Amino acid sequence: MRKSVKILLIISIVIIIISIPLIFILSNVLRMGQKPPPFTLDDAPEYIVVTRNNIKEKLENNTFTLEEDGQKFLDFSQWMADNCPDILHLVKNWEQTVLFEIENTTYDMWWIIENDSAIVEVGTNPPQNYGLVIKLDFKTFTEILMQEETPLSAFLKGNLIYEGSFDEALKVAEITNIVSATVMDTYSPAIFGGPTIEITAEISELYNEEGLTLFPCFEVTINPEQPGKQHKSLIGQGSVIIVDNRGKIVTKLEGSSHSVHEFINSTAFLMGGQEGYMELYDYRNEKVESLAVPGGHHDFDYNPVTDTFMVLEYNYTDEIWGKDNVTVTYDLLSEYNRTGHIVWQWDPSIFFPFNATRYTSLGLNETFRGGLDWMHANSFSWDKTLKVIYLNVRNLDTILKINYTTREVIWDAGRGGDFTLLNKAGKEVDTLFCHSHGFERISSNRYIMFDNDLFNKSNPSTMTIENSSGHSRFLEFEIDEENRIMREIWSWVPPSQSYYFPESGGDADRLPNGNTLGTFGDKALILNLRDPVILTEVTKNGTIAWELQIPGVNNTFYWVHRLERFYEKPLITIHNHSLDLSERFLWINLSTWNTFKQDTTSQGMLRIVADGQEVSQKSFEFLPHWQPTTFEITVNNLPSNAKVVEIIIENNDNIKNSVIIYQQSQNILFSYGPILFLIGSVMVAIPTIIVYVKVRSTREIQEQNSE
């Protein structure tokens, strides 16, 4: 055998040896994200198979009831709990009593989980002491059993409420999915490899800095038989994804169903927004920490000075309104310490009471989670220094300014409020935004939000969710408190209707470079349509600088609620400088930003270094809301023979960035000498190898011919 063939054979064997465990590992990683298949009943007693078939038939014929079929369902569920390895794994080392309060039926269900097993009960006398309660009506209960709905999807639509641990609620959802898949004997595997990230626009000169983008991504399954119909798609598992500007996934946290994320330092961020409890995730160390703090709904904020957390929470009151005697629902603002105890709360039933005339001004009946949805607040900005809160009340299209100390509403700016509203042309209008999301403060009197343009009376087509043709947009506005004027400053409406997302989600963030980054979500979750997720960064003049899309495959699409841009190092922009080494003088004017968006100030340090020696330093504060910290610094003690002068910015987390202000030209060759030598060596080596191979081949051919 020729030597070259032997070498190729050895390389092939090595590749095969390496590939076998790699393929095994990869197949297991990909399998982790799949939906649960039905548990096989091949070894089950005949009565269990008959029971399953009977339950399935009754569900399909819409004749299943707990009163008549409760014992059958109990027998089948208990057999699953005792014999299904996946369920036994989920209940291992877990002690809890889970109560299912099922409306429109006289029966409830509860699980007693202890000693690595679960006891399932159905009846009318549930235990009084339980740690987790799941509330839903009988219709939703049967839809979940029939796999027409998922627990997470029912929760997001407001048809399922839980009280207790978020992590434990997710375990219950996993067990429920296994049981329902076995009852209906159906299996829809996940898309192989997860979502595909596509960069559809990248004009680097319009954004310059290398940033990372974080967003939660939920799987959505389209019902192909009912396209365009409201709430017919199903939401599945979620994950947190961090990508660079080229679309490469830097970090992916699987199995996370949080929809809101907020950085608290350069590498760690809080996760919440879907009730349950918050978690803290350090993306560099891939470490998740569970907190005793409620996750709230839609939005939360953190105060690093007091180590407290403010969240939005639902509040079902005793107020009844309308001929159907519907309960009025409010949104509490609650502040918790790290042990989970309330230290402050704002109750709108006292300071912003229900107004029936204002509620019905759009001619709508907006209910959510079984209650009259008076507010549906979904975002807020907490000024810890001035001790005020700006609350976006979605259903009323208004912003409230709340005094933290007195809890009183200082002003009400929006539709039906007490401000004059002016569009960009200076014309007075009834409202500047319609059922908006992602509201944030960007300066002392400037704000930005995602305007969904849903239920806009000036555009009749938006007054229904199905077949709506509004124009969602990024919106910046200014509030003049003294003259009671809210004025539109800037907005961007995308050129294509494919961006339009009418009902749920959406975000808009002002970046350090002055661009605006946001997500238009898609129509998959609410309207059951095949539509990609779109994240877009635009300049002030409306040019798309960067854009990411997540397309779907077959009936699987995705949904993104919010997003965050952050950076691995502090940002530095040198506006101007003057250097005179003979006078040992340096003057510099610059701006800097921290690595992550913050709503309070934080400490930073600037250092001037010459030839590795520090010659000057200045402490400063990074400003909130991505506002630039701009200042001038003068140095009069530079070494007259300095070869390299650089400026270093360091934040509280010891993360540094530097910019070289001066470098002797001859040093460039010295600095890059090894690199240039390596490049030159490669350029010489490649043709030498080619010539050698050709000569060797010619000799072998001559030797063969001579033989």
pLDDT tens-digit series, residues 563-579: 999 999 999 999 999 99
> Could you give the CA distance from residue 394 to residue 452 in angstroms, rounded to a whole number?
10
- Given a contact cutoff of 8 angstroms between Cβ atoms, the answer to whether 33 and 194 are in contact is yes
Average pLDDT of the segment spanning 29-40: 56
Instruction: Give the dihedral sign, CA 149/150/155/161.
Output: positive
Q: Which CATH number is associated with domain 46-184?
A: 3.30.1050.10
Q: What is the pLDDT of residue 670?
A: 37
Asked if residue 690 has pLDDT above 70, the reply is no
- Given a contact cutoff of 8 angstroms between Cβ atoms, the answer to whether 334 and 310 are in contact is yes
Cα→Cα distances 72→108, 426, 570, 687, 701, Å: 14, 68, 62, 79, 82
Question: Average pLDDT over the chain, rounded to whole?
Answer: 88
Confidence label for 504 from pLDDT (cuts 50, 70 and 90): confident
Q: Where are the alpha helices (DSSP H) in 185-283?
A: none
CA-nearest of 479, 472, 409 to 435 is: 472
Phi-psi bin for 564: left (phi > 0), alpha (psi -120 to 50), beta?
beta
Q: What is the pLDDT of residues 134-190, one digit of tens each?
A: 999 999 999 899 888 878 778 766 788 888 876 788 789 889 889 988 999 876 544
CATH of 571-663, one of 1.20.120.160, 1.10.8.80, 2.60.120.620, 2.60.40.10: 2.60.40.10
Measured in residues, the chain has a length of 707
DSSP 211: -
Q: Which CATH number is associated with domain 198-566?
A: 2.120.10.30
Q: What is the pLDDT of residue 370?
A: 78
Q: Which residues contact 95 (CB under 8 A, 6 or more apart)?
A: 113, 114
Determine the 3-state secondary structure of 445 from DSSP: coil
Q: What is the pLDDT of residues 188-235, one digit of tens each?
A: 544 445 789 999 999 999 998 889 999 999 999 999 999 999 889 998
Helix (H) or strand (E) run with residue 167 in it: helix 166-184
Q: At what angle do helices 166-184 and 46-60 cross, to 10 degrees?
A: 100
> Could you give the CA distance from residue 371 to residue 390 in angstroms, rounded to a whole number?
24
Asked if residue 324 has pLDDT above 90, the reply is no
Q: What is the pLDDT of residue 159?
A: 83
Q: What is the pLDDT of residues 349-400, one digit of tens each?
A: 999 999 999 999 999 989 887 789 999 999 999 999 999 999 999 999 999 9
Name the token pair of 297. 């709904």
Name the token pair of 263. 């950085």
Cα→Cα distances 6→1, 9, 10, Å: 7, 5, 6
Phi-psi bin for 590: left (phi > 0), alpha (psi -120 to 50), beta?
beta
> Could you give the CA distance from residue 549 to residue 532 in angstroms, rounded to a whole number?
6
CA-nearest of 622, 607, 690 to 653 is: 622
